[in-house]
Amino acid sequence: MRCKNCGNTLQEFRELTEAEQEFVRPRIGKDKRLGAYYRCARAGCRRYQRRGDHNDGGSFPPPE
């Protein structure tokens, strides 16, 4: 999928972990399925987005 954080290039995405799902759940609309969101697998990228819509998503906060 295209990743906005990686210069709009095609990247591999993976399913969200349970901890990532807890972060994303309150940030998406109630009409959207949590299982439709994936995370960019490129090292250092924190982008999550909905499959099929690279404009619907956001970024995880930097690690502490």
| pLDDT 10s digits, 13-48 | 999 999 999 999 999 988 999 999 999 999 999 999
At residue 63, the pLDDT reads: 83
1 — pLDDT class (breaks 50, 70, 90): very high
At residue 57, the pLDDT reads: 95
At residue 64, the pLDDT reads: 80
List, edge to edge, every strand of the sheet that includes 47-50.
Answer: 13-15, 37-40, 47-50, 53-59
pTM: 0.91
